[in-house]
């Protein structure tokens, strides 16, 4: 740290991304990326001609991609916001709407790590609401607090999902507060709340191309809401970096939307692989949540979470372990392709000195 850093950032704790070690080739099951590549349409659209135009700024209004998103999701273009990854949108949300005691914010104590990082970054009055023992969210906790609400649905890293009825209850009970539903994993088996934005002017639904659309490396996030909320987000974007989505990503995003069936088929494959892997882990005696995401959250009674993480790493498999004492017996395992998950199961059985048929 230099002596020049602003005082307000002295105690800021930055987010820790999943490790990307280069010492050997790992089966990477630690950052919830898709095991499947972008579609042919995307590979063809990002070509020599599009690279040749990199001397020109991208369209700050993202008109074409906004239109494609609006058509696909059945909303107006004024209800769509696009940004450089959904982390960017979460950052804008905290910057725009959460500030001190007048605009407090609540979210589950076990959830996506960035919520607390952005809270501190923007000086929000943030409160973490404990999950129930089984990691489920008690809706009542979010109905009686006069605060903005942030919930990942499905939640990370538990994979558990809320129903639309439950989300609606939260929306109805907080008419003067914003409710952000982070749908990074919604395409893997939960219900999207997008259909509710016309009814509730306090709902902001956030999504990403990073997980279900195989574009983590392109950085593209989106949000749907009432047009006034979108206008506020645009104001923040135009006050920071109007060109925050580059030309190639805009082209790739539009091509991906045109190939939506390819991605939704991949999501089905990932769900099948997930359910198979969960069944095998249960055979091995693991406690596994009922994940509706592209990851599995599991603990063994035979080995600690950290020891399993370390043993798997030695065998060339990376999973995500969290040191938080509430979940340190668990690991979060991204669902890869069938071959990767068979290797994961085989090595896990070896570590536990168990036999299993695949």
Ligand X SMILES: *Cc1c(COP(=O)(O)O)cnc(C)c1O
Interacting residues with ligand X (CB under 6 A):
32, 85-87, 112, 152, 156, 182, 184, 208, 210, 216, 221
- Please state the φ and ψ torsions of residue 160, each to the nearest 5 degrees: -80, 140
Report the alpha-carbon distance of residue 229 to residue 227 in Å, rounded: 5
Residue closer to ligand X by CB (options 87, 187) is 87
The minimum distance between CB 156 and ligand X, in angstroms, equals: 4
- Burial category of 288 from C-beta neighbours within 10 Å (exposed 0-12, middle 13-18, buried 19 and up): buried
Token pair for 42: 């995307």
The minimum distance between CB 288 and ligand X, in angstroms, equals: 19
Place of tokens 């969960």: 278
- Whether the CB-CB separation of 168 and 198 falls below 8 Å is answered with no
Size of the chain in residues: 358
Pairing status of strand 124-129 against strand 100-108:
parallel
The minimum distance between CB 177 and ligand X, in angstroms, equals: 20
SS3 167: helix
- Whether the CB-CB separation of 97 and 124 falls below 8 Å is answered with no
The minimum distance between CB 293 and ligand X, in angstroms, equals: 8
The minimum distance between CB 113 and ligand X, in angstroms, equals: 9
Residue closer to ligand X by CB (options 124, 293) is 293
Residue closer to ligand X by CB (options 13, 199) is 13
Residue closer to ligand X by CB (options 143, 216) is 216
Residue closer to ligand X by CB (options 218, 351) is 218
């Amino acid at each position: 740290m230099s002596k020049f850093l602003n005082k307000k950032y002295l105690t800021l704790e930055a987010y820790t991304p999943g490790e990307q070690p280069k010492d050997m080739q790992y089966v990477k099951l630690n950052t919830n990326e898709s095991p499947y590549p972008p579609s042919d349409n995307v590979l063809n659209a990002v070509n020599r001609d599009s690279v040749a135009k990199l001397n020109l700024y991208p369209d700050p209004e993202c008109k074409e991609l906004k239109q494609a998103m609006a058509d696909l999701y059945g909303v107006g273009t004024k209800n769509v916001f696009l940004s450089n990854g959904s982390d960017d949108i979460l950052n804008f949300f905290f910057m725009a709407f959460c500030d001190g005691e007048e605009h407090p914010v609540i979210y589950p104590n076990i959830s996506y790590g960035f919520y607390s990082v952005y809270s501190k970054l923007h000086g929000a009055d943030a409160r973490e609401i404990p999950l129930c023992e089984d990691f489920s969210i008690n809706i009542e906790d979010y109905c009686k607090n006069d605060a903005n609400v942030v919930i990942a649905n499905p939640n990370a890293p538990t994979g558990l999902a809320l129903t639309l009825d439950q989300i609606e209850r939260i929306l109805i009970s907080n008419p003067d507060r914003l409710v952000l539903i982070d749908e990074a994993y919604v395409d893997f088996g939960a219900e999207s709340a997008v259909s509710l934005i016309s009814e509730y002017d306090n709902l902001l639904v956030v999504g990403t191309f990073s997980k279900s659309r195989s574009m983590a490396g392109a950085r593209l996030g989106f949000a749907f809401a009432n047009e006034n909320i979108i206008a506020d987000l645009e104001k923040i974007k135009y006050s920071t970096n109007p060109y925050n989505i580059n030309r190639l990503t805009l082209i790739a995003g539009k091509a991906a939307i045109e190939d939506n069936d390819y991605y939704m088929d991949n999501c089905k494959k990932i769900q099948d692989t997930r359910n198979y892997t969960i069944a095998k882990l249960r055979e091995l005696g693991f406690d596994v949540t009922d994940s509706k995401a592209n990851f599995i959250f599991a603990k063994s009674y035979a080995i600690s979470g950290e020891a399993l993480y370390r043993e798997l790493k030695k065998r060339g498999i990376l999973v995500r372990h969290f040191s938080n004492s509430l979940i340190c017996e668990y690991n979060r395992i991204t669902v890869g392709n069938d071959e990767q998950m068979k290797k994961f199961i085989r090595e896990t059985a070896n570590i536990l000195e168990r036999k299993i048929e695949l």
